[in-house]
Structure 1
């Protein structure tokens, strides 16, 4: 992206003594200095540090030694003003609304200016209404992270989108989508570590996936002998399965070892455990981090939270929960992390973890007589709280929806459960929600804010607690099981 008049000047540039090229002019003193950027005859004024922190283009500019790094106004050519306005809104931490036209302009700016926060913002907002536009536009401008994320979303919804895909996308993009393997519905039951006389298969210690075509469950992998999923934290991040904590023995001894399963290598590896041993925790993966939330240890319910950084392989403590919680319902929505806490006897509170501020923020409260939220699911900008009915109808599952945009609650009509009993687990794939118990797997279609039963498949034949999630399996694994 050319600058208006991009000659360099001699004498004023600052050379990086470590060999990194030119440092930003007055790099340590940018502070609250402001820069005016002119795009399509529209002037935008913003703090230089806001631009430098989130945009590789401006990082390079202030390392270049060019004249513009000392100017108070620069001109960007060939970019749309509305797209650049959205860049600034995202860099400021705002939550702009996306529509068709602005999506194209936002992708153009994200690609040319290399604005990684905007790319992430777009990825977090892929849905069935915009996925084809995101995919095609990202391919046009070479925004490859968005390109791959949108392609996988399309692949996961191919049964619903195939006609539209073939009508609107060029052949090379269709071929790429069809070359991908869709994410599959996975489950693992609650199992303790094996003793020396027990084999893996004898204990049915298996991670399974649902073959939707054949309508039966297949084994993906066996749990390691010293792994426990009983009261453990289980989650998926970057297509890898993580198991943290858990207990073994009648005394509920905390399992020290934690495990990661790589689908690509079809192998397990051990990883460091949290600094505070814990079980009955909630585990969530988001933005290259695992969050171990609450849990128990030595008969004490905890409010502490730890994050595991995939890059460094280290656990660090984060802000405590507002109050102790074990087995709290958690979910992700729009790239944000939410936890559902219950206050006896009638109040369910939803908190968001604000990463940039390392704090928990109360989002909303739901008051229902003698009920609590025991499952939390995010779809688009909606949070769905599944809860038991009042005490005289405890096994009937009710659902309420909270919209992050409007801040409004809506009660969904009817009951939501698999056969007789409440809905304790649910996984979103595209516009579908998969739930299961021992008797059936039930897929719902999310239509507006209504869940409509779509199809019924075989249940997961395990007793006790079950963890469900999605993984994208290589074709070689599926071929192995055919």
Structure 2
């Protein structure tokens, strides 16, 4: 009846009244401002959204005006259709597309855990949800099904931040199930990097044959010998007798030509499952050289430490095999240059000999030579070179009036530099005395003594907004060249020069760790000895610290290795040749004795082309 009364009243209104009503609400945002009110203003209550949610949630908790009950495995959740439809396209389609659920008082939700329905409904009314290791996979599944994108993304980010050797296989499977590509790539890389530990875990042995072969087929599988890959396949096979029929599919991705002949004969060939399947016999014949090699003869890549100095000599050190090899020589002699690497891309820029250099070079892993790329806009030495989101950033340095207070960005695919002016580099970067690392889309500037500062300062730079943010200071001041690296979403810092309580200059051996999520520093185990300006790299989930000098200016040849899980340091080797300017990076290369490592040490110089040269995966030996 009320509707009829309103309809009748609207019909009796004069044309002038109707026109006035249209004018009053003629703004796109729906505000009602009469044209005659030139001094009118729009009031916006910033607390209104929260108040509205609080009111709706109060109604829900008291079962007031609720018009639907979600039912899931015995759990019932009263709520409001319009709230569900407003935060979930799944419910919007259910309640507005003429489906039978649109008129039902009770709607059954299948395919998710009942507790997750409660969490997501609570999120709809409060904008808050609690994510933990115990519920994150189930919450990801539920938010993916109900199309709650914000919670789905929050679950993925949580899993990326908390990824470790114990959960990476489960997270990889969850990411694959729900098409979370970035999480899948991140967890997959973690499996490859820590394969030597992970392949014995129950979660790995429970992988489907499709997911197992995806892992075994990767060039980046981090193993000291191919024998380990075969052992992993055997453990997986022994888990269930029904897997025998799929073993040929698995064996196809094991690089049998790389297995020692004795192991191939005494272990692989003697297995009943290999003897019984004709397809397996074909792979054995190929491994023995009785048939032409296919891609199974291609060496896998490994992460090595590439060492450079003030000579043109370049070496690699493989911590897994303790092998050293010579790479293509640098085309020049330089001091105080900067290097950075990511994956199989290694860049060297700046430095000085007779003059300060603007040049940049890229190491071509395929041809074992150095390519000259586009030069920087400014000559630089005593600066930092960092890779972030596929680009190279040159930060600060000396060499020209603009160098100290500038940053420039290199785009590999166009072979061009972009000068990023007015970013306040000089306020946060102490040339030659601090360190810069990249993490989660930001650059972190650590240590140094700009303008007499204490040496414990840390600043974060966002390249997208050109905004610097001051962060929590380190627990130990590091005035001069601390080493820094990123491991498992955290920043580790050690070494560097500072003053002790007696105001004496010392070289630090203490290490501390920064958690960007909490903005807090925590102390870790200390190195065996202090180092002035060491190099710090990550290989196979461990931190390696190399070279530089102690407080008596003696060269430290020992290589120290830090294990995050046990918080311990061990000495794992020595550096053969001392270098005055020592630089090192971790780089992915093939364990291929016929190309990169054993190529002529003279190297070469070529003009670079836009883009990043990768190793030719289609090439055989």
TM-score class, shorter-chain normalisation, is 0.5 to 0.7
For 1:275 and 1:400, locate their aligned partners in 2 and report how far apart those are by CA, in whole Å.
35
Contact 2:345 / 2:362 at 8 angstroms: preserved in 1? yes
Is residue 2:345 matched to residue 1:240? yes
Secondary structure in 2 matching 1:472: strand
The reply to whether residue 302 of structure 1 matches residue 404 of structure 2 is yes
Distance 1:280 1:369, change over 3 A: closer
Structure 1 pair 273/301, CA: closer, same or farther in 2 (3 Å)? closer
For residues 530 and 210 of structure 2, the distance between their equivalents in structure 1, rounded to whole angstroms, comes to 47
Residue 258 of structure 1 deviates from its aligned partner by 1.0
What is the aligned partner in structure 2 of residue 403 from structure 1?
515
Q: Give the corresponding residue for 1:434.
A: 544
User: 2:569 maps to what in 1?
Assistant: 453
1:188 aligns with 2:300: no
> For 1:302-451, what aligned pairs fall within 5 Å after superposition?
302-312=404-414, 313-317=416-420, 319-321=423-425, 322-327=427-432, 328-343=434-449, 344=452, 346-366=454-474, 368=476, 374-386=482-494, 387-388=496-497, 390=500, 391-392=503-504, 394-413=506-525, 415-417=526-528, 421-422=531-532, 424-429=534-539, 431-437=541-547, 439-447=557-565, 450=567
The CA distance in 2 between the partners of 1:82 and 1:44, in whole Å, is: 12
The RMSD of aligned alpha carbons is 4.6
The answer as to 2:357 corresponding to 1:258 is no
Rounded to whole Å, the distance in 2 between the matches of 1:373 and 1:361 is: 21
**CA distance in 1 between partners of 2:593 and 2:161 (Å):** 28
Q: TM-score, normalised to structure 2's length?
A: 0.54
- Residue 328 of structure 2: aligned partner: 221
Instruction: Give the C-alpha shift of residue 140 in structure 1.
Output: 3.0
* Distance (Å, rounded) in 1 between the aligned partners of 2:488 and 2:304: 19
Q: Quote the Cα distance in structure 2 between the aligned partners of 1:424 and 1:184.
A: 20
Distance 2:395 2:591 in 1: 34
Moved more, 260-269 or 330-339: 260-269
Deviation of the 1:360 alpha carbon: 1.1
Contact 1:84/1:106, CA 8 A, preserved across alignment:
no
Mapped partners of 2:407, 2:464: distance in 1: 15
- Which sections of structure 2, spanning at least 5 residues, go unmatched? 1-28, 30-48, 50-69, 71-78, 90-96, 98-109, 223-301, 548-555, 599-621
Structure 1 residue 285: Cα displacement: 0.6
In the other structure, the counterpart of 2:136 is: 102
Higher strand share: 1
- Partners of 1:466 and 1:126 in 2: CA distance: 33
Question: In structure 2, the residue corresponding to 1:133 is in which secondary structure?
Answer: helix
Shift of 1:262: 3.8
What is the CA–CA distance in structure 2 between the aligned matches of 1:270 and 1:82, rounded to whole Å?
59
Q: CA deviation at 1:105?
A: 4.8
**C-alpha distance in structure 2 between counterparts of 1:147 and 1:460, whole Å:** 40
Find the aligned partners of 1:243 and 1:84 in 2 and give their Cα distance: 50
TM-score (norm 1): 0.67
Cα distance change, pair 471–114 in 1 and its aligned pair in 2 (3 A): farther
